[in-house]
Chains A and B, each alone.
Chain A
Amino acid sequence: MSEVVLVVLRRPDAAAGLLAGAGQLALLMRHGHLNVLAIRQTIAPSALAAEALMSEADAYLVAERAENDRIGALKAAYDAWFGGSDAAGLTSRWIEIGGSPGSIVGEMGSRADLVVCALPAAVDHFSRQEFSAALFATDRPVLVLPNAAMATIGRRVAIAWRDEKRAMRAVMPSLRWLAQAQETHVFIGLRDGAAPPALPRVFSEHGIRPELHILRIGPEPFGQTLLDKAHDLSVDLLIMGAYAHSPLRELILGGVTRYMLAHADMPVLMRH
């Protein structure tokens, strides 16, 4: 079988980085196949009626042209990537559809093996919808890439471990390709006075021998402690569980998860 990677493109300036990162991880999996998705926004004429100097029809045309340009730029980035050497050894398909970003990503993501998307931008409503769906509606691991390009992904991997099911859910699918990393590290946070933990058995049983690092949980954000340690070790991929609780159905991200989404400057593989 092929491992299917769904790459969700939104911003044209981030597309090349996303495709390169997704391709690198797909090469670690056997027979990686990339489904590259661009979701076309349906422009509702009435929503734009407030534009001051334009008639409703003009505003509609302008918005539609902007959307065509965006999709065109994404397709150009895809064609450039697919024609380049980075895509060697991979198969891929360009998918362009219109509709609700959340439901499309939820549906296509759930039948993929991995979803790749950009760090959601605070100002971009649609990118946040896509990201939320990828993380919470697909039940799949999600590779979140920062805007900065990375030379490598998945060669030096760190796992932020907690004795909890989300961390296990993030780790289990990664074990299929983790043996190919040059280095693996496991980070475990420890409060003052707590007994030092041992390396979880799941790694040795799967033939992985990571190095264990105990990180002190102090007053500073633990997310920053994880990022600092990862940088010290030149890590190029951080794997972690994504935590959220839902008081009255609105999902509130856990502290470390939220910190990572705001500050991560490296690829993070998350799973809820």
Chain B
Amino acid sequence: MPGVILAFLAEPEAADAVLSSAERLAAQCTASRINGLGVRLPPIETIMPTEEVLTHEQEVRMREREQKRAEALRAAFRQWAATRPDRETIAEWFDVEANAAAALKEYGARSDVIVLTRPCDRSSEPERQAVRAALFDAERPVLLVPPGTAPAPFGRRIAIAWRDDPRTIKAVLAALRILDAAEHIDVIGGLRDGDPEPRLPEIFEEHGKPAVLHTLPLPGTEAFGAALLAKARALKADMLVMGAFAHNRLHNMILGGVTKHVLAHADLPVLMRH
């Protein structure tokens, strides 16, 4: 498949982790192009509505700061593009001044997978908005990479957090396609007392993919998100696949509990799809 991967870079220090993950993914699904995206915030987006008007000096200062960050991102992208072993894949850098969420929606919607750093404590508000737009507005699978160093090779042993619902099914369809080269698939589902004995969901057999079913008791002693991550580690999974859940309470998006936990704590790459 002549696939396109969008690598969204927010912080120069995290650029390498995102780009090497994008490259790993490109090799896995034989993508033909990696688009790098850096978004400069327009000064007007950075002020609170209640604050006083934006002065000219403030505006110049903010533009300069964003310009500097964008240049550092571009430099990181260029350096990675020049040194990567795989030159078959086209690498192109895009640098736009825009609302972060709008940019992710636009560039993300025409990509096959979006790769970005999962949010952490030091993530800025625009970066968080970008992650949410990628997950919930772009309608594409999103690979969230733990912040910090580049992850170990992933995509060989994947764990899938199963729930019988449309989001999970979309995440699984995307994962089976992107991670066709995976050697082993574990499916992890929650099981309540009195539930019938679960069977491996039909989607795996239909797509010709063998998988092994595991269950976690519900409710467990810890949050399901934590139990899920622990189980994935115990199974030596190098990657987790799951649906991304959110309720839209009058446009104030509330993330689902498991989604929120994994977004905040995952120490392995996670492929999510809303």
Using CB atoms and an 8 Å cutoff, list the residues of chain A in contact with chain B: 1-4, 31, 33, 35, 110-113, 139, 165, 168-169, 172, 175-176, 179, 200-202, 205-208
Question: Which residues of chain B come closer than 8 Å to A206, judged between CB atoms?
Answer: 2-4, 32-33
**Interface membership of chain B positions 162-200, coded 1 if the CB is closer than 8 angstroms to chain A and 0 otherwise:** 000010011011001100100000000000000000000
A1 touches which one: B109, B110, B140, B209 (CB < 8 A)? B209
Whole-angstrom CA separation of A125 from B268 in the bound complex: 49
B residues near A168, Cβ cutoff 8 Å? 109-110
Q: Which residue of B lies closest to A138 (CB)?
A: B166
The chain B residue with its CB closest to the CB of A208 is B2
**Chain B residues, CB < 8 A from A201:** 110
Chain B 202-222 residues near chain A, CB threshold 8 A: 202-203, 206-209
Cβ of B1 within 8 Å of any chain A Cβ, yes or no, is yes
**Residues from chain A with Cβ under 8 Å of B166 in the complex:** 110, 139
Q: Is B35 engaged at the interface, CB distance under 8 Å to the other chain?
A: yes
Report the separation of the CA atoms of residues A208 and B169 in the bound assembly, to the nearest whole angstrom.
28
Top 5 nearest A-B pairs (CB, nearest first) are A202-B110, A207-B2, A111-B203, A2-B208, A1-B207
A-B contact pairs, 17 of them (CB 8 A): A1-B176, A2-B207, A4-B206, A4-B207, A31-B208, A33-B207, A35-B206, A110-B166, A111-B206, A168-B109, A168-B110, A172-B110, A200-B110, A201-B110, A205-B4, A205-B33, A207-B2
A1 in contact with B3 (CB, 8 Å): no
Q: How far is the CA of A206 from the CA of B1 in the complex (A)?
A: 9
Q: Which B residues touch A1, using CB under 8 A?
A: 176-177, 180, 207-209
Question: Which residue of chain B is the closest to A176 with respect to CB atoms?
Answer: B1
User: Is B169 a contact of A111 with CB atoms below 8 Å?
Assistant: yes
Residue of B nearest to A111 (CB): B203
B112 within 8 A of A: yes
Which B residues fall within an 8 A CB radius of A?
1-4, 32-33, 35, 109-110, 112, 139-140, 166, 169-170, 172-173, 176-177, 180, 202-203, 206-209
CB nearest to A4 among chain B residues? B206
* Distance, CA A176 to CA B207, complexed state (A): 16
- Residues of B close to A3: CB separation below 8 A: 207
Is B109 in contact with A205, judged by CB distance below 8 angstroms?
no
State how many angstroms separate the Cβ of B189 from the closest Cβ of chain A.
15
Given A139-B166, A206-B2, are A169 and B35 also a contact pair (CB < 8 Å)?
Answer: no
Q: Which among A31, A111, A172 has the highest number of chain B CB atoms within 10 Å?
A: A111
Contacts of A112 in B (CB 8 A): 206
Complex-state Cα separation, A113 to B173, whole angstroms = 8
Question: In the complex the two chains form, what is the Cα distance from A189 to B32 in whole Å?
Answer: 30
The residue of chain A having its C-beta at the shortest distance from the C-beta of B92 within the complex is A205
Nearest chain A CB to B61 CB, angstrom units: 33
Min distance, Cβ A94 to any Cβ of chain B, angstroms: 14
Do A165 and B109 have beta carbons less than 8 Å apart? yes
Q: A2-B207, A111-B202, A111-B206 are in contact. List 12 more A-B contacts (CB 8 A).
A: A1-B177, A1-B208, A35-B206, A139-B166, A169-B139, A176-B177, A200-B110, A205-B4, A205-B110, A206-B3, A207-B2, A207-B32
Q: Which residues of B contact A111 (CB under 8 A)?
A: 169, 172-173, 202-203, 206
CB contacts (< 8 Å) of A176 on chain B: these are 1, 177
- Say yes or no: A139 contacts B170, CB within 8 Å: yes
Residue pair A179, B202 in contact (C-beta under 8 Å): no
Q: Bound complex: CA of A206 vs CA of B208, how far in Å?
A: 26
Bound-state CA distance A165–B35 (Å) is 20
CA of A112 to CA of B33, assembled, Å = 27
User: How many Å lie between the Cα of A4 and that of B173 in the bound state?
Assistant: 10
> How distant is A110 from chain B, measured CB to nearest CB, in Å?
5
Interface centre among B172, B176, B206 (most CB of A within 10 A): B206
**A168-B173 Cα distance, complex, nearest whole Å:** 18
Q: A1-B208, A4-B206 are in contact. Are A205 and B35 (CB under 8 A)?
A: yes
State how many angstroms separate the Cβ of B92 from the closest Cβ of chain A: 9
A110 adjacent to B169 (CB under 8 Å)? yes
Q: Which residues in A have their C-beta under 8 angstroms from that of B208?
A: 1-2, 31, 33
Q: How far is the CB of B19 from chain A (nearest CB, A)?
A: 18
Nearest CB in chain B: distance from A239 CB, A: 15
Contact of A165 with B139 at beta-carbon distance under 8 Å, contacts A1-B208, A207-B32 already known: yes
User: Cα distance A206–B2 when bound, in Å?
Assistant: 5
Q: What is the bound-complex CA distance between A40 and B238, given in angstroms?
A: 44
- List the A residue with the shortest CB-CB distance to B209: A1
A31 to B110, CA, bound (A): 25
Asked whether, in the complex, the Cβ of B112 is within 8 Å of the Cβ of A33, the reply is no
Bound form: Cα–Cα A66–B35 in Å: 57
Q: In the complex, what's the smallest C-beta–C-beta distance from A203 to chain B, in angstroms? A: 9
Q: Closest CB of chain B to A174's CB: distance in Å?
A: 11
Q: Considering the chains assembled together, what is the distance between the CA atoms of A202 and B140 in angstroms?
A: 14
Contacts of B32 in A (CB 8 A): 206-207
A33 pairs with B206, CB closer than 8 A: yes
